[in-house]
Amino acid sequence: MSIKKWNEQDRPREKLVEQGARSLTDAELLAILIGSGNTEKNAVELAREILQSADNDLFVLGKYTVDDFSSVFKGIGQAKAVTIVAALELGRRRKENENDKRRKPIKSSQDVFEVFQPLIGDTPHEEFWVMYLNRSNRIIAKQQLSSGGTTGTVVDEKLIIRTALLKYAESIILCHNHPSGNISPSQADIQITEKIKNAGSFFSIKLLDHIIIGGNSFSSFADDGRL
């Protein structure tokens, strides 16, 4: 049965208007973005199929690309896929902006994780970022240094130190993600951390931590006694 034949109070759009967005299930919200189903399923049923493919986990769904949606699910063309990806990105940016507005001095690895997780926690490729801090451990800037494949990126320590000097940063914190979800540092992670720490020491720029994010988990070089 198509959604148009449902009781009006059960239709996702009407339900949202009457009861508010919080009253809708994830599938109903996704169905509004999709707009219509296919010859076999209505929009809500198709939305449920999409969610089930991601184990009903919106975090996992956030990793899907336009091709992931349009090439797998019948009834999801490029236009619908773009709409879904755009909505997920808006949610990600909202979370990031909320974190920035509440930003206090960085005091722990958890604080760093809360800054970067919305940025790179669910990206399907590795990204390497640097946080530049002032004397009060407040964020001066965040900078993406590189973006690579699923197993690694290339990082230039000279660029990090140069930027720190230009921004008059007192200290820096490194952060990158492991798309695999494994948050243990690789030998390459350990080596680049040591190189950046040594480079910064020549200019009295202290490396406070290196955070590795894998989904909703993270590890910290400082917490683990690696710095």
Same domain for 109 and 92: no
CB atoms within 10 A of CB 53: 15
CA distance 131 to 138: 10
pLDDT at 198 over 90: yes
The range of the structural domain enclosing residue 181 comes to: 105-220
| Domain contains 34 | yes
CA distances from 132 to 203, 205, 208, 209 (A): 14, 10, 10, 11
Out of 43, 67, 96, a domain closes at 96
Q: Which of 34, 55, 54 is nearest to 45 (CA)?
A: 34
Distance CA 83, CA 86 (A): 5
Q: 226 in a domain, yes or no?
A: no
* 12-39 residue pLDDT tens: 888 888 888 888 999 999 999 998 888 8
Which residues are CB-contacts of 12 (< 8 A; sequence separation ≥ 6)?
3, 24, 28, 29, 31, 32, 43, 44
88 and 117 share one domain: no
Q: Are residues 152 and 212 in the same domain?
A: yes
Report residue 3: phi and psi, to 5°. -60, -30
How far apart CA 91 and CA 98 sit, in angstroms, is: 11
Q: Specify whether the CB–CB gap between 222 and 186 falls below 8 A.
A: no
- Residue that finishes a domain, picked among 96, 116, 145: 96
d(CA 104, CA 111): 9
pLDDT tens digits, one per residue of 45-101: 999 999 999 999 888 898 899 999 999 999 999 999 999 999 998 888 887 776 665
**198 and 176, same structural domain?**
yes
pTM score, whole prediction: 0.63
Same domain flag for 210 and 142:
yes
Q: Tell whether 18 is covered by a domain.
A: yes
110 and 145 share one domain: yes
CATH number for the domain including 189?
Answer: 3.40.140.10
